[in-house]
Amino acid sequence: MTTPSLNRYLRRTNLYAVTLWFLLLTCAEGIEFDSLLNNPKAHDGKTVSVDGVIRGNGPTFELYRDASAADSVSPPSTSFFVSAPDNWKATQPYNMRRVRVTGIVEARRHGIWGNACAIALKRIEVLSEAPAKHPSYPVAVVRNETSESYSLRAGPPGVEAQLSIGPRQFLLLPRYDGTLTVLGRDGTVVAKQKLNATRESANFESAQMVFYYRITDRKLEAVKSVEAKRWGWKR
């Protein structure tokens, strides 16, 4: 049983931790997109805030200069790889929104595709509620309907991304084509499927330009767009 003095100590400790966390965020250096892009090494290890248009809904993203670059998926060297911590949870749609990313610059990391550098995410602020541009590039989204966590390999041969998805979570794949492999905790293959790449597929929704899939009962299956609309997921 705690004593009054111990309770006061715990309250002071929690207040200190919250204050420290707030100071770490507010001490971030505001930086222009091109300044970081042209010289990541000059900012290595620093906490910065940079504005741009983001692709993906986490826990990994790519941050582009503007909506045109994000929509056309400009070369990776013109964008930043943004990775959230393990305990991070999405609170709203981020994909194709204009955002302000605050995090630690990791100049030696270049993401999955060879981005200019990486940013270890501390905070993401959405600056535009609606997408900065109506999507014209197809993506694929996976819904995990189980209580298990899985590792995923997604994409064409030779450029497969290594991803993860938690229970009841959604995951936006970096590529909509290629093959998707679902792996259990022990590394065994749970399911494997070639991704649909034609817009005539029943699991493609033209309004959001999305192919839908789900993991359920240790199976991976395409989901008809009319059914996936009930998920409430937004690009």
Distance in angstroms (rounded) separating the CA atoms of residues 234 and 211: 12
Query: In this predicted model, which residue has the larger pLDDT, 16 or 160?
Result: 160
**Buried/exposed code over 103-127 (b: 16+ C-beta within 10 A; e: otherwise):** bbbbbeebbbbebbbbbebbebeee
- Which of 139-143, 158-162, 205-209 shows the lowest mean pLDDT across its residues? 158-162
Average pLDDT of span 57-62:
90
User: Residue 71: its pLDDT value, please?
Assistant: 83
pLDDT digits (tens, 9 = 90+) for 151-184: 999 988 877 888 899 999 999 887 899 999 999 9
pLDDT digits (tens, 9 = 90+) for 110-136: 988 899 999 999 999 999 888 887 777
**Amino acid found at 53:** V
Average pLDDT, the chain: 87
pLDDT digits (tens, 9 = 90+) for 77-121: 999 999 999 888 888 889 889 999 999 999 999 988 899 999 999
Confidence band of 211 (pLDDT split at 50, 70, 90): very high
User: Residue 161: its pLDDT value, please?
Assistant: 84
User: Residue 10: its pLDDT value, please?
Assistant: 45
List the chain domain ranges: 29-126, 139-231
Domain 29-126: CATH architecture, name and number where available: Beta Barrel (2.40)
Distance in angstroms (rounded) separating the CA atoms of residues 166 and 144: 7
Average pLDDT of span 215-232:
93
pLDDT at 199 over 70: yes
Q: What are phi and psi of 227, to 5 degrees?
A: -80, -40
**Amino acid found at 56:** G
Domain 139-231: CATH architecture, name and number where available: Sandwich (2.60)
pLDDT at 233 over 60: yes
Confidence band of 12 (pLDDT split at 50, 70, 90): low
Tokens read off for 16? 């200190």
Tokens read off for 61? 């993203």
Cα dist from 32 to 29, 38, 78, 100, 149, whole Å: 10, 10, 14, 11, 37
